[in-house]
Amino acid sequence: MPLKHSSSKKAVGENIRREMDAGRPRKQSIAIALDVQRRAKREPKKNVKHRTH
């Protein structure tokens, strides 16, 4: 199941759990979940139309 691309604490916890269930070590699971959170914060929102003048 894919990871949730969100910056919320709940999503990070779920992503850690999913990675650990997939057999990854705890520290690696945390690093992956925090990286997904960091990327979700900086990525622009999709389906947003920008106005140009």
- State residue 14 phi and psi, 5-degree precision: -65, -40
Q: What is the pLDDT of residue 7?
A: 87
| Residue 49 in domain | no
When the pLDDT of each residue in the chain is averaged and rounded to a whole number, the result is: 87
Q: What is the pLDDT of residue 53?
A: 61
Please list the ranges in the chain whose pLDDT falls under 70: 1, 44-53
Please give the C-alpha separations between residue 8 and each of 38, 41, 49, in angstroms, as whole numbers. 10, 10, 24
| Residue 48 in domain | no
Q: What's the total number of domains in the chain?
A: 1
| Residue 37 in domain | yes
The answer to whether the CB of 32 falls within 8 A of the CB of 15 is yes
Q: What is the pLDDT of residue 26?
A: 97
> Could you give the CA distance from residue 28 to residue 21 in angstroms, rounded to a whole number?
12
Domain range for 19 is: 9-42
| Residue 19 in domain | yes
